[in-house]
Amino acid sequence: MSAICGGREGARRTTSVVIQSRASWRAVQRVGKHVTRLAPTAITSDELTDWLIETALRYVGKLILVPALPSLPLPLPFTLPQPLAYVISNSPHLQLRPEKPGCPLVALRAVR
């Protein structure tokens, strides 16, 4: 840790910045020295859900199983309550790829 953040002071500052970032996303609430996790925000917009899935795909760099999308730690302060296969099938940026029955993969659509 000290190689990444420096000594104790560097690690303390880095931790503080990460917690502040999470607080600005309303994922946590900071009261004094106590930090509590807040309830995740449900994303009901197809466009925003599409964007979050695309972001996750670009971050991971490989195909993702559709049933695994809600459990990924990437879209942390959000939940995806919509039927994801439906959102993906209507997306201009994403495509479904059949892997095995009941477990399709999501991929970025090829740019033409």
pLDDT digits over 11-41, tens only? 788 888 888 888 887 788 888 888 888 888 8
- Confidence label for 4 from pLDDT (cuts 50, 70 and 90): low
The domain segmentation of the chain, as residue ranges, is 2-37, 41-108
Neighbour tally for 27: CB within 10 Å: 17
**CA 14-20-23 angle, 5° bins:** 145
Q: Which of 34, 25, 36, 40 is nearest to 70 (CA)?
A: 40
pLDDT at 75: 60
Distance CA 6, CA 43 (A): 37
- Which residues lie closer than 8 Å to 23 by C-beta, 6 or more apart? 29, 30
State residue 87's pLDDT score.
Answer: 93
Tell me the pLDDT tens digit for each residue of 48-107.
Answer: 999 999 998 998 899 999 988 888 876 667 888 889 989 999 999 999 998 878 789 999
Partners of 78 in the β-ladder: 41
Confidence of residue 47 (pLDDT cuts 50, 70, 90): very high
- 84 vs 81: CA distance, rounded Å: 8
Q: How confident is the model at residue 6 (pLDDT cuts 50, 70, 90)?
A: low
- Predicted TM-score of the model (pTM): 0.70
